[in-house]
Structure 1
């Protein structure tokens, strides 16, 4: 069988931590030589396996398409060199080719080969590698994200200022945000009027338009939705909200926190009076779609106590408008959860695999942290050298201050990276343990839990719910797919022989 080698890196840390392109190529070439695979193509590049656009990676798929009659061993160093995104279509494409016996996927350092004949335990191994690689990748921010995070921690807002403020450029070309004197008093008045409890959003919009509150720089009058956005924005009292997190900012507040909180109380009270919703705990609400027309399956209560689900038939031409009791849906999902509980021998195999995976990721993490700490030491050594140079008159105070400011920024960035890696390593272990723990207790947890907890558990383990007649269709998420398949095949460890042994 001919071999295609792929080696890639995405960060400087990987280049310096034993995952460099040359290091990967040496391991992969030695592996192919040992397996007697003639190497016909080598793809080696520096880009992220987590980006949607991966032109170099796509060349591999194009190469395979151009040789449809040949079977190749596509060799990677590790699963995370393959992709850190389990939803990447390239992952699905290559995996499907392997399941169709058109290629083999070889992961050298993970001791894993993906073929149609692999055991369910090895499929779990592959799935857990992909899932945890994504988790690890999510936890480690790239340089741009860390720089953005640092600016937020410093109280700096990135982007266009909110209404009532304006962006300016200072004499040293640095950017700043200051109150817009033509509008800041009107923003404060907006909060004061709404806090009185005498205004609805629409009425307040008309009032502020009459007072002259307009958009900047267009001068267009504000609309009702803008009033709501303004009243719910904590930036005006001194805090930035970014992706649900709050950061104190360094700019001048336009209102007090007391006034902001009072406005939120008025909004909440107004919503309670005017917004009515059902509090019935429907387990499958919003989860299931009709297999026939794609519309949502909606719940209804009949005779005051029986919960039925049916297609909304929004299009008006669905032929799958059947009614099914919630108990029937529960029974169908519960039976699949039973299959997650493995025999003790199988559980030990999966634990062994997880230990190997975690040890490899921990080693990777420790090497990266060591590299970052060496960089941090060099910067801190530079402080002392620069200080001595300033005392000796070899550099001016201005140059010294400039150098110190640059080093401080780099030092903070490195500290953030070290912290990110440490948290990622800890989360990696917690996540893998959590997956095994939930898989073995899933059925018992589901049966004994409250409706809201049942919904959370099903969404954690399953995906793509569809109702076809009265049959509920769904799929297990990675890595639970491997566990379920193992149970369905009925295999036992003694029947798997060499499939569970490390690959030479």
Structure 2
């Protein structure tokens, strides 16, 4: 991260001012051609052409998936402290944010956002259709990041199937590079004996969990990086972890690892028996999965509204009444109940406000495809770079093989480096596939979000309780209940979709003009 501050000259104080923001996801991406200097040049040229004086430059070299980016946070703080600067210039939507919290943060600043590559300027005065299209792009960017995470999980699954522990190394092991150049785990000679002792102590049944944790700390069991003593909760996790037997569970399946075990399977099972025996009296009572519990707050006191079964078949909801003003009062809102069917009818009616016709879906899909041209070009450029690197490594392996045949290098040397380069080629090939898939899935996600919104009402009516709750959490926020009525707000951009749908419906009812509907939705 770096930040370049450029205070405005006093002579230009009358000119409109803006901050510019540039971002790449990683140092590697910056090297691969997503150039910060190129972004800054584009943004500064745009500012000059539009008559803006650049008050501050902010640059992040980190992902926008998570909140808390350093320069982004400083930019927001600076804009809050300088209410006279009301504009941000950033290359395109996913450079500014790929998570919903940052989107809301920027929206609350009430400023103009200029996206030169998208040809879009957003402000409070923008049409609801423009804000809606922007919101869909933010959700598309978020889901694109989620897809990348899914690809990372696929890589972990591949490692698991090969018997390689695919994630963070547990206490007792350390990361090393294997003979084939791959990252594997090996026994940590300092910590492993203490971990083995843990199982030995607890398997006897003579020590409580806190006691063996205390013995382990006395023996020197600490976290590798910080050197802090290991708490009892971590000792519990160690004793439950099958990895120490040479086997491990991943995504619900059991795999035999290639690493050296620290304890026998029999010893591990004895430990599980001791732990299960001590926990036998702690089984929890099964509870009913109510569709709307935890989703709604009481409109009077703010307490949660929860479900309750009456007469073994009817589901009613009521305020928990935990607030002080609710307790021991005859008029307590806890004493008021509402049937689940009533809440369901009201939520169903709300979701119906998102419904729009096939013609509108086709218009918006076309607009999304047009706005995706730049994203598609970046994927194509990334694929070309990855293919060139894949070819270069292949040529290296071929040249080194000839050197091996000529006796210039030894077989061990060839095997080690060829293994590392082939593994790198496999990674590159996965990245190529990821870009090829993401280029299409990016658009698919946008269309799926639209289809989810327009079909939300029908989906809600036929889904089980858990899925009803998930759908409502995705689309609605700030749900409350008072005097038999549910009040909720749509999350962005579904609030804009509901608003645009209502405007289009009123316009259509007024004059039946199809062109006016197109203008409302797409701002033509």
Specify if TM > 0.5: yes
Cα distance change, pair 411–142 in 1 and its aligned pair in 2 (3 A): farther
Correspondence for 1:131: 139
Counterpart of 1:57? Answer: 72
Structure 2 residue 416 is matched with structure 1 residue 407: no
Corresponding residue number in structure 1 for 2:292: 284
Q: In 1, distance between residues paired with 2:175 and 2:516?
A: 72
* Cα gap change, 1:83 to 1:381, in 2 (>3 Å): same
Q: 1:176 aligns with which of 179, 182, 186?
A: 186
**Closer/same/farther in 2, CA of residues 231 and 17 from structure 1, 3 Å limit:** closer
- In 1, the alpha carbon distance for the partners of 2:233 and 2:41 equals 60
* Deviation of the 1:297 alpha carbon: 1.7
What is the aligned partner in structure 2 of residue 382 from structure 1?
Answer: 396
Is 1:4 aligned with 2:12? no
1:23 counterpart = 2:31: no
Shift of 1:156: 4.1
For 2:522, which of 475, 492, 500 is the aligned residue? 500
Instruction: Find the aligned partners of 1:223 and 1:68 in 2 and give their Cα distance.
Output: 48
Q: Judging changes above 3 Å, is the alpha-carbon distance between structure 1 residues 273 and 303 closer, same or farther for their aligned structure 2 residues? A: same
Task: Give the direction of change, closer, same or farther, for the CA distance of 1:292–1:159 in structure 2 (3 Å limit).
Answer: same
Q: 1:124 to 1:292 in 2, by over 3 A?
A: same
* 1:338 CA displacement: 0.5
1:79 deviates by: 0.1
Partner of 1:477: 491
What are the equivalent positions in structure 2 for 1:481-492 lying under 5 Å apart?
Answer: 481-490=495-504, 492=507
Q: Distance in 1 between matches of 2:18 and 2:523?
A: 22
Q: Which residue number in structure 2 is paired with residue 460 of structure 1? A: 474
Residue of structure 2 equivalent to 1:307: 315
- Give SS of 1:310's match: strand
Residue of 315, 325, 328 corresponding to 2:342: 328
Distance 1:225 1:33 in 2: 58
d(CA) in 1 for partners of 2:451 and 2:146? 22
- Alignment-derived partner of residue 155 in structure 1: 164
In the TM superposition, what are the counterparts of 1:218-257 in structure 2 within 5 Å? 218=218, 229=237, 233-241=241-249, 248-253=256-261, 254-255=263-264
Q: What is the distance in 2 between the residues matched to 1:442 and 1:168? A: 47
SS in 2 for 1:283: coil
CA distance in 2, matches of 1:160, 1:486: 51
Deviation (angstroms), 1:134: 1.6
TM-aligned CA distance change 1:168 to 1:32, over 3 Å = closer
Q: Report the CA distance between 1:130 and its aligned residue.
A: 0.9
| Residues in 2 aligned to 1:495 and 1:313: alpha-carbon distance in whole angstroms | 47
* Cα separation, 1, equivalents of 2:416 and 2:403: 14
Q: d(CA) in 2 for partners of 1:23 and 1:220?
A: 52
Q: Which secondary structure state, in structure 2, belongs to the residue aligned with residue 277 of structure 1?
A: coil
Partners of 1:26 and 1:223 lie apart in 2 by: 52
2-structure distance, mates of 1:247, 1:276: 32
Shift in alpha-carbon separation, 1:219–1:148, aligned structure 2, 3 A: same
CA distance in 2, matches of 1:146, 1:11: 21
Displacement of 1:326: 1.6
Distance 1:359 1:271 in 2: 60
Q: After superposition, what is the alpha-carbon deviation per residue over 1:152-203, rounded to whole angstroms, capped at 9, x for unaligned?
A: 66614765646xx666999x9x962279678759849988xxxxxxxxxxxx
Equivalent residue for 1:97?
109
CA gap of 1:463–1:79, structure 2 versus 1, over 3 A, is same
**CA distance in 1 between partners of 2:319 and 2:502 (Å):** 30
Whole-Å Cα distance in 2 between the matches of residues 182 and 50 of structure 1? 39
Distance 2:76 2:282 in 1: 58
Deviation at 1:497, TM superposition (A): 4.4
Shift of 1:82: 0.7
In structure 2, the residue matched to 1:199 is: none
Displacement of 1:369 in angstroms is 2.2
Q: 1:419 to 1:220 in 2, by over 3 A?
A: same
Q: SS of 1:339's equivalent?
A: helix
How far does the alpha carbon of each residue in 1:123-150 deviate from its partner, in whole angstroms, 9 at most, with x for none? 2211111111122123335999999888
Shift in Å, 1:77: 1.4
Match of 2:7? none
Task: Answer yes or no: is 1:106 the counterpart of 2:120.
Answer: no
- The change in CA–CA distance for 1:71 and 1:243 in structure 2 (over 3 A counts) is same
1:200 corresponding residue in structure 2: none
Bigger mean CA deviation after superposition, 439-448 or 451-460 = 451-460
Could you tell me how far apart the structure 2 residues matched to 1:313 and 1:183 are? 48
Displacement of 1:368:
1.6
1:494 CA drift (Å): 1.3
SS of the aligned residue for 2:124 comes to coil
Task: Provide the secondary structure at the position in 1 that maps to 2:303.
Answer: coil
- 1:438 alignment partner in structure 2: 452
TM-score (norm 1): 0.76
Query: Are the equivalent residues in 1 in contact too, given 2:137–2:446 (CA < 8 A)?
Result: no
Which residue of the partner structure matches residue 53 of structure 2? 39
Pairing 1:117–2:129 present: no
SS at match of 1:53: coil
Residue 144 to residue 168, structure 1, CA distance change in 2 (3 Å): closer
Indicate whether 1:342 and 2:356 are aligned: yes
Higher relative contact order (Cα pairs below 8 Å, separated by 6+ residues): 1
Deviation for aligned residue 1:383:
0.9
Residues 21 and 44 in structure 1, CA contact (< 8 A), matched pair in contact too: no
Q: CA deviation at 1:388?
A: 2.6
